[in-house]
Structure 1
């Protein structure tokens, strides 16, 4: 298959790129980005004949259509703000599509493209990293095994044990993190979407080692937008997503947000206007961080609780996975690996037509859990399940 990565210079997509280069099903890999120098450096670093690079401006629709026309499937690794533009181009070029997520509001807009994707004969999936992504397929597993589904709670805990004390190392894209901190999150409660405030709904969760006890809080995420729609036929009433970040990082990010560094509104600095978020993003990208002893030591725990009824009895599935740095890829953190690699899995499943129903779907509506979990296990991501009933 021929795979196009739009936003090939991004941080977390590196995990997907490494998988594409190594996987025998991928015959050609295009890295496209506005920053041609960055993707050329990646091409040289990879040293693979299957990798090609192209400069692309996402505001040039026809150029993007021409670029995608030669490829079977597209992984959109840009900001969710560009999702709709890339989807429009995929419809015209008839290229399958997936991305890292739609951050609630964008995801709902993306689902409106279902009929157009179906008419074009292509498949699109929103949210193919770890969250959204892995957690959606976990929820689907529980849904498939219950007769009724009442509630779903998604918990995501992240720690980083070797970040220097004076560092500011985002686990994923700083722009997305900022939006997760400043935008109002939602829960689906008693059959309705409920808008909440940032950092609401705090809970202490005892994740498996090495993540341990963490304080999670509501964060705006697309799982809360899509699962009530996907699982409505079994009576879903409640969906929540809660996140914890490395403590020092979270404290510093809160400080910067309160200071105004997360703002997208221009401010006057001497004789020119600057956008604080863009300044922060550039400063983060310029950071130099060497991993102590050459080994990353960041980890993530994913836990999904699905409650409902099985054979007339109140039942509960708890699926969990602890993700670590992937040692064969020592040049990337767990954060990059655990978002990028699952996205590569979804991209390959679409491109190889193991997922072939045309239309546009959330992850939980399109991906077969057993096939997906087997693919994740190839690089050490293991999903475990516990089932209990209240007699």
Structure 2
């Protein structure tokens, strides 16, 4: 397999490292507009399979030129470049996958319109998979796994909580591990939800509830959060789904940024200079790529013991005339950090490993056109995912 990665930032490094450790992969091109960033990542991975190239994700021709002779393009840049990277992959005759998406797809899902480039990818016998990271991605696949156990599905609720137990964590600069700008906008923007079989828009930080996560998280405030799952699942899961939402824990730091107006892109005057508050904030916060470049195995034990992520999926529906309520607990994908590093050269696999798994499913030839990660066969996906050796288990209960 030959893979072009577009974006050497927070997820580009882990993705390239995973691919470099994969015996099925022959060649990886890690590309970025900032060739120095790509080169630093390549130097850390130090694999003969890996080369770097300067690519402008805003220019489909630049992407297409880099993708010539490759089998697949994994898009790990910010969502404003989704359409141009897709077009470049299509022109080069490559399968395509991203780990996040926004417009024009949100509008097309909500209005039940054809998806951008769906017809063109189908005509070329290619797959384009939207949102195949951790969330969206892995969480969608698991939701599909349990939806498939039911005859009809009434609702899918997604809840994500995070907690860091160490005191020093409170004084560390905030970084989400992916695009800092997009993460802040996800907190600040209105949210699309799906209720009573219809889409609606609700304000940021609305729908407040106290959710009881497994220990050590416990009870946490969660609110509606701008995300892909509530707009894609109604189309791709179907089965009469009437309700779908995504609620995220209220993280104090980005909440403070938003309420202070620092998530605004409207220029303000400061000492005679017009600046956008969001630009100022992004300049101060650490870049997502630093997580991979500065990854320190000596801190793995601390991370395993003090940093927790919990994803909960609740799927309600009917099976053989009986009401069934599944509750699935997904612990963090980055646990057992030393073992992950031995397998993949990094423990930061939570987004990149589902992406690589989805890419392999695209290359199987089974899928055509533009689809969501919840369109993938969940059993086959999970077989491929677990076959990598990742020490991962989830818990299910029937309420």
Q: TM-score, structure 1 length as denominator? A: 0.89
C-alpha distance 114-87 of structure 1, shift in aligned 2 (>3 A): same
Q: CA deviation at 1:17?
A: 2.1
Match for residue 160 of structure 1 among 158, 164, 172: 164
By how many angstroms is 1:103 displaced?
Answer: 4.0
2:230 to 217, 224, 228: 224
Secondary structure at the counterpart of residue 97 of structure 2: strand
Corresponding position of 1:302: 311
The answer for the alignment partner of 1:383 in structure 2 is 394
| 1:4 and 2:4 matched | yes
**Which residue does 1:56 correspond to in 2?**
55
- Contact 1:13 1:339 (C-alpha < 8 Å) held by counterparts: no
1:344 corresponding residue in structure 2 = 356
1:33-64 CA distance string (max 9 Å, x none): 01111110111111100001001112333222
- Equivalent of 2:331 in 322, 325, 328: 322
Unmatched tracts of structure 2, length 5 or more: 110-114
- C-alpha displacement at 1:301, in angstroms? 1.1
Q: SS of the residue aligned with 1:382?
A: coil
Cα distance, 1:356 vs structure 2: 2.6
Aligned length: 378
CA–CA distance in structure 1, aligned partners of residues 160 and 40 of structure 2: 33
Change (3 A) 1:102 1:22: same
Question: Take 2:277 and 2:395, find their aligned partners in 1: how far apart are those partners?
Answer: 42
CA contact (8 A) 1:304 1:319 kept: yes
**Residue 371 of structure 1 corresponds to which residue in structure 2?**
380
For the 8 Å contact 1:104–1:225, the answer to whether it is kept is no
**Residue 6 of structure 2 contacts residue 31 of structure 2 at CA under 8 Å; is this kept in 1?**
yes
3-state SS in 2 of match to 1:337? coil
Report deviation, 1:99: 0.7
After superposition, where does 1:8-27 map in structure 2 within 5 Å?
A: 8=8, 10-27=9-26
1:75 aligns with 2:86: no
Shift in alpha-carbon separation, 1:70–1:161, aligned structure 2, 3 A: farther
Tell which deviates more after alignment, 259-268 or 50-59: 259-268
Q: Is the 1:99–1:125 contact (alpha carbons within 8 Å) kept by the matching residues of 2? A: yes
Map 1:352-363 onto structure 2 (within 5 A).
353=364, 356-363=366-373
Are the counterparts in 2 of residues 15 and 338 from structure 1 also a CA contact under 8 Å? no
How far apart are the structure 1 equivalents of 2:395 and 2:318?
20
- Secondary structure of 1:5's counterpart equals strand
Query: What is the CA deviation profile of residues 121-170 of structure 1, one whole-angstrom value per residue up to 9, with x for unaligned ones?
Result: 21011111111011111111122111111111111112223453222222
Q: Does 1:144 align with 2:148?
A: yes
Deviates more, 1:164-173 or 1:264-273: 264-273
Question: CA separation in 1, counterparts of 2:296 and 2:253?
Answer: 20
1:103–1:220 Cα contact (<8 Å) kept: no
Counterparts of 1:183 and 1:105 in 2: how far apart (Å)? 16
Which residue is equivalent to 1:37?
36
Q: Which moved more, 1:251-260 or 1:83-92?
A: 251-260
Cα distance between partner residues in 2 of 1:212 and 1:28: 44
Contact 1:6 1:32 in 2 (8 A): yes
Whether contact under 8 Å (2:14, 2:346) holds in the other structure is: no
Q: 1:387 to 1:259 in 2, by over 3 A?
A: closer
The structural deviation recorded for 1:272 is 5.1
Residue 112 of structure 2 is matched in structure 1 by none
- Cα distance in 2, alignment partners of residues 253 and 384 from structure 1: 30
The answer to whether 1:244 aligns with 2:253 is no
Q: CA deviation at 1:265?
A: 3.1
Deviates more, 1:336-345 or 1:177-186: 336-345
Instruction: State which drifts further: 257-266 or 31-40.
Output: 257-266
Contact 2:137/2:354 (<8 A) preserved: yes
Q: Secondary structure at the match of 2:353?
A: helix
Question: Quick one: structure 1 residues 240 and 105, their matched pair in 2 at CA, closer, same or farther if it must change by over 3 Å?
Answer: farther
Aligned to 2:285, what secondary structure does the other structure show?
helix
Moved more, 64-73 or 167-176: 167-176
Distance 2:320 2:252 in 1: 46
The CA distance in 2 between the partners of 1:333 and 1:271, in whole Å, is 46
Q: Pick from 165, 186, 211: which aligns with 1:205?
A: 211
Residues 1:119 and 2:123 aligned together: yes
